[in-house]
Every structure is written in C-alpha cells, then in structure tokens.
Homo-oligomer: A and B are copies of this chain.
Amino acid sequence: MTGVGLIGTGFMGKCHALAWNSVRTVFGDVEKVRLVHLGEANAGLAAIRATELGFEKSSGDWRAVVADPEVEIVSLTTPNQFHPEMAIAILEAGKHLWCEKPMAPTLAEAEAMAAAARKSGKTAVLGYNYIQSPAIRHIRQLLGEKVIGEVNHLRVEMDEDFMADPDAPFFWKHEATSGYGALDDFAVHPLSLISALFGRVERVMCDMAKPYPDRQVTGGGRRAVETYDIASSLIHLDNGVSGTLLVNRSAWGRKGRIQVQIFGSRGSIVFDQERFNEIQLYVTSDRATEQGYRTILAAPVHEPYGKFIPAPGHGLGFNDLKTIECRELLARIAGQPARVIDFDEGLEIERTVHAMAQSFAEQKWVKVR
C-alpha cells in the first residue's frame, strides 16, 4: 500500500484527508493507500489532527514527513508562501506531490517549483479541483464533439463575498505581500478551467479596483488597503478566441460563483459553479420552435458521477471534486491517462496572472509569453 503524508490541516488539509479516505471505496480501480504521516506547525496540534484525520504518525516539523521513507506521496496544503521551499524539498526527496494552488507568490518561485518537478521525474499536481466536476468534464467532451460548433467567444466570472464587508478590519490579505488580491485568490480558478477546456491565454488587458481603499485597524486607526479585490481582464487565447475574465472577492451575495459562458457557431454553453451539478446547453440543431437552454443535471452518463451515485440528479458535493482529483493523481502516478493540472500547466496559469498584473500596472495589453 502506498504511503501518504499530509502537511497542513486547514480547509484544504481536511479536504485532502477526506479524499484519501474515500478514493478507493468510490472508484474501486485505484489501490488502497495508507495514511502514514501528518505534519503540522507543532507536535501537539499534529498529534490531534493525526488522530482526527486517521494518520499513523505525526510531527511538529514538516521535514520529518518529507524524510519518512514510508511516505511516497505528499499532500501539501500549507499557505501559499510556504509552497516553494516545501514543494521542492518533497520533490527532491523523490516523492510525488499533490500541492494546493496557487503555486507560489512569485513567478520565479513557481518556475523553480516546476523545474524541480521536471528534474525529479515524479508526479507533481496542483489542486485545481473545479476542472474535475462531471459537468466540466462533459463540457469538455461537448466542445471536442463540436456540439456548439466552433467556439468564438468566452466569458468567465468568479465571485465571492468573503472580503465584501467594509467594516471588517485590515488583515494580511490586504497587504501587498499577500499578492495582488483577487487576481491570485480567484483568477487562477477560471484560468484552470480555460486551461482544461481551451488551452493557453495569449494576451491580456487588465483593470483592477479596490472597493474599500482603507480599512480600520484592530486597535485603532485606519490603514490603506494594498491589494485589489476586483480584477477585470480582456483576454485572447492562443486559439484565437477572445473573451473576458472577471473576478471579485467583495461581491456581496456571491458565495462560490464561477460562471462560464461559451459561445460557438452552433450553440452555447453556460455553467455556474454555485450549481455545479447542472449544465446549460443551447444548440441550433433543435427545432426552431423548441430551441432553448437545456438544464442538464449531472448523472451517471457523465463520468465519473456514477462512481459516487448510481441515480441521476442526486448531486455531488464540493468535497467529491477533491476525491475525483485524488483519483486522477493516482492515475497519473500509475502512468494512466489522467485529467490533472501539473506543475508545467500550473506555471502557465501563474504566468497569466502575473501578465494581468503587469497589464494593469502599465495600462496596456501584455502578452503572456
């Protein structure tokens, strides 16, 4: 049995643990794994989490996990800024890596991570789970079959409201050291969908905005906000398709919205992550009097929904996407075809985000490469 290590046990750490727990039972076609070693910030917390999440060993030093000969795959779910050092160490230790997104604060670090992955010969995969839903996979198939003809335009939006409260105090996500703002928090997700469905972005023209230019500091006074909660970008893809990518982490009312509108010469597709068990499809092959968007509910005919539930329309959940991702990771490690975003593909996403930031800084179109 393959041994698994986990470093970091926040939101995504628990998701990884649940995925490791379920993947074999859900899919049947992957080997059983052992949850071997968990690393956290200190030994006490690590021990508690190991008990909760079902790991055999625990350490207060992440290096112990990396050094553990029983660990063959490491789930890395620590904050962004720790990724470069940890990821490179894991890969250099000859272990496969399942790393949460985005890769790293700077492009140089992301490049170093991708280089380490290539050098290691190991599988290094990023946690872009939104590409894993049966709906997005089916959209990919529909596009491949030209069900909506040739795609000519694209709009993607990602919005949530966790930064929307103007009275919430200044915290680390308002500091420039945390990144650009919505660009790295959010834009990477729509970019992962674009990558999975269409390929690379060629050039970008980006605008950014701060809904609240300053915020109260806990303890007194106000401080200027250094990051941008809103980013809006005109984009051109390598394949000639034009579009827009709009993100807003201060969008009151939106909770997990990723709306995708794809326009083709014979139809269109609309998808929203807030209802990710549904696809909206319009095709001109329907009779004129009956043309309209169909609401297609995810079902066993849409892989891999049926591995979870044999009945249509019952609905997968967010955590199930992580289980699918885990299965794809194992397939990739086993040398089978797999739908993942590896470090090279992830590096392209990072490049696009940095190009957007540069475009805003220079107020002009910027080529990604």
A317 at the interface (CB under 8 A from B): yes
A46 at the interface (CB under 8 A from B): no
Q: Do the beta carbons of B242 and A230 come within 8 Å of each other?
A: yes
Q: Do the beta carbons of A286 and B282 come within 8 Å of each other?
A: no
Task: Pick from B26, B153, B253, B315: contact of A293, CB below 8 A.
Answer: B253
Q: Do the beta carbons of B242 and A152 come within 8 Å of each other?
A: no
Contacts of A197 in B (CB 8 A): none
Do A284 and B165 contact each other (CB < 8 Å), given the known contacts A242-B232, A313-B255, A364-B364?
Answer: yes
A150 to B316, CA, bound (A): 33
Do A252 and B275 contact each other (CB < 8 Å), given the known contacts A21-B21, A290-B281?
Answer: no
A198 at the interface (CB under 8 A from B): no
Chain B binder among A69-77, A104-112, A172-180, A207-215: A207-215
Q: Do the beta carbons of B267 and A253 come within 8 Å of each other?
A: yes
Chain multiplicity (copies): 4
A256 at the interface (CB under 8 A from B): yes
Contacts of A363 in B (CB 8 A): 364-365
Residue of B nearest to A319 (CB): B308
Q: Do the beta carbons of A299 and B255 come within 8 Å of each other?
A: yes
A105 to B195, CA, bound (A): 40
Contacts of A283 in B (CB 8 A): 290
Contacts of A207 in B (CB 8 A): 205, 234, 236, 242
Residue of B nearest to A35 (CB): B25
A317 to B305, CA, bound (A): 11
Contacts of A296 in B (CB 8 A): 289-292
Q: Do the beta carbons of B255 and A311 come within 8 Å of each other?
A: yes
Interface residues of A in 320-365 (CB under 8 A from B): 320, 363-365
Contacts of A54 in B (CB 8 A): 24-25, 32
Contacts of A297 in B (CB 8 A): 255-256, 274, 292
Contacts of A316 in B (CB 8 A): 317-319
A45 at the interface (CB under 8 A from B): no
A-B contact pairs, 21 of them (CB 8 A): A11-B309, A18-B22, A22-B22, A24-B52, A155-B246, A162-B311, A232-B234, A232-B244, A252-B264, A252-B265, A252-B267, A252-B268, A257-B313, A289-B302, A290-B296, A292-B296, A293-B295, A309-B317, A309-B319, A314-B317, A317-B320
